[in-house]
Structure 1
């Protein structure tokens, strides 16, 4: 019984020391993590900017921003974002196919949670053929 208590105490000690180290790490605070474009016309690319603030103590470094499909292009702040400062992730969606969409963008960084997924959603509507038929 004493061995079990000792093992539990050691495990708790490691857990607390690990969480204390994480408290110094950078932390994302996004203005939004999901953007709804609503209805957009087919063939017209749309862009949104996800703005974030580093609310952690150390500089935040985004190492990769990877859209989950080739129809989405990402650009982002590549310099370290100091504590209290802002950075951006610009996402452009190519609205080529008329259909609803829900796309994820995986952000990798040195933050306390190293991967975060942002989402863009909406519906691409076909341009009318102009034939006058209903």
Structure 2
């Protein structure tokens, strides 16, 4: 009985060690897989490269009710057209105006952003989110202001 059990155990060990050949992930890659990986890697370089003159604009101290504007310059440092398909402010008081058409490689275009401080006293920080055809697909700009309330409006000398 013991001989029979030992024989079965030995047979099981032999079968397990010979039938379970270890394969690494690299062994499973075919020529088609390698071609697909090469195409995917080459597509990564097809995106436009976006650069801004600034990512944040601080309006400083402004009076409640003032509508202030700033311009962010965007440059396409890539080799294909840069497209800004959508631009949204974080609230209705922040309105971005992106370029209408594509930004060609090597060129720049303005993004005008206005901020209406009516009903917004105190420290303000708003964002503008751009939907683009860059690798990340999204870019964010920021504006800041310290809004003096109506009852304490700053006066400017002329």
TM-score (normalised: structure 2)? 0.72
Query: 2-side partners of 1:32 and 1:8: how far apart?
Result: 44
Is 2:29 the partner of 1:4? no
Query: 1-side partners of 2:28 and 2:145: how far apart?
Result: 51
Q: Residue 17 of structure 1: CA displacement? A: 4.2
Alignment match, 1:98: 121
3-state SS of 2:24 partner? helix
Query: 1-side partners of 2:141 and 2:40: how far apart?
Result: 27
Structure 1 portions without partners, runs of 5+: 130-134
Alignment of 1:1-134 (within 5 A): 1-6=22-27, 14=37, 17-96=39-118, 97-127=120-150, 128=152
Which is strand-richer, 1 or 2? 1
CA contact (8 A) 1:76 1:90 kept: yes
| Larger displacement relative to structure 2 (16-25 or 99-108) | 16-25
Q: Deviations over 1:54-101 (max 9, x none)?
A: 001001111000111011111111111110000111110001121111
Structure 2 portions without partners, runs of 5+: 1-21, 154-158
Output the aligned Cα RMSD: 2.3
Query: 1-side partners of 2:40 and 2:94: how far apart?
Result: 36
Q: CA 1:42–1:7 in structure 2 vs 1: closer, same or farther (change >3 Å)? A: farther
Query: 2-side partners of 1:62 and 1:71: how far apart?
Result: 21
Structure 1 or 2, whichever has the larger Rg, is 2
Query: 1-side partners of 2:88 and 2:108: how far apart?
Result: 20
| Larger displacement relative to structure 2 (21-30 or 51-60) | 21-30
| Larger displacement relative to structure 2 (19-28 or 76-85) | 19-28
Between the two proteins, the alignment pairs up a number of residues equal to 128
TM-score (normalised: structure 1)? 0.84
